[in-house]
Structure 1
């Protein structure tokens, strides 16, 4: 079974980004895939700021990424880029930590002016971490996600439809790669006997 790591770069537990990620997680789980979360805001600030690669929490987060077949990387957009807390964590991922993984970038922002943040901010750093298969992802306006009184979130129809398509594409890519790797392993096993 394929494993997915979801990295939330939001500094706030009440961020509308969490509503977007919950939606994506539900689609992934319904497809029968495993999900593990890395909430960067829950990592010790000292570990992030002082680049403590040997911190148990950082080692564990990097294990989650290393064992994942695919990674969702998500952040609110502040001043045309992902959050600083996400950047400090990305700096602690090994140089080729995303190599061979399907990567889905997601962003949420207050204005359409940040629409290209995925292409101009996310993709260069993801590529620097070895990611070669970066999906187009999705940019969501925060007005498309409503925070309800009970703390849950409601996505408007347009973004719900678009995120459904994004999730389906992501799941298909992950499933296809997992099947390909399985067949490759089987053929190598047969060749060795």
Structure 2
């Protein structure tokens, strides 16, 4: 299974605001980049909470979704949108465990865009920096500024996402244009 665009959501709660923000960012970015840079072979959302089975209560953790090889799906993406809330000053442990499975430069040839949510500006900078650093270490190309929003801005309007996508569409389109065409 492959997809041109993969949205990787590291929130341990399915259906989170992080996922909604990542999907809105992806939609706005693809609209700005254009379908020629990212052919519409589909958007695949990988919500880690549903893939590995996470629980915060006494019930047993059971995965709700099955994906044959989520790692290959992420490696094969042309555009990877990685979303996480801030947990204890960084990205989530769930996302860390997933990303730790990739070797050095394991995401080479992938254009990645971090999307982060936090309660404070200090946490927003910390999570954005940490996620950016790990994606660079994994070899992903990060041509755009991360989309980083405070929780209070999530419900306000879609305007911050649209403005961000408008500024980042050009650099993302250029980076995607440098990637080899896949069969």
TM-score interval (norm. to shorter): 0.7 to 0.9
Moved over 6 A (4+): none
SS, match of residue 84 in structure 2: strand
Question: By percentage of residues, which structure has more strand?
Answer: 1
**Which residue in 2 is equivalent to 1:35?**
43
- TM score, norm. by length of structure 1: 0.70
Question: TM-score normalised to the size of structure 2?
Answer: 0.74
1:80 maps to: 89
Q: Which sits farther off after the overlay, 37-46 or 120-129?
A: 37-46
Deviation at 1:45, TM superposition (A): 4.8
Cα deviation, residue 18, structure 1: 2.2
Match of 1:67 in 2: 76
| Alignment-derived partner of residue 58 in structure 2 | none
1:139 pairs with 2:140: no
Matching residue of 1:6 = 7
- Secondary structure at the residue paired with 1:115? helix
Structure 2 unaligned blocks of 5 or more: 55-65
The alpha-carbon deviation at position 68 of structure 1 amounts to 1.1
- List gaps (5 residues or longer) in structure 1: 47-55, 147-155, 186-193
CA contact (8 A) 1:100 1:133 kept: no
Bigger fraction of residues in helix: 1
Q: Which has the higher contact order (CA 8 A, sep 6+)?
A: 2
Cα RMSD after superposing both structures: 2.7
Residue correspondence of structure 1 range 106-125 to structure 2 within 5 A: 106-125=115-134
Q: Render the CA deviation track for 1:69-119: whole Å, top value 9, x for unaligned.
A: 121111000111001111111112243222122211111011222121244
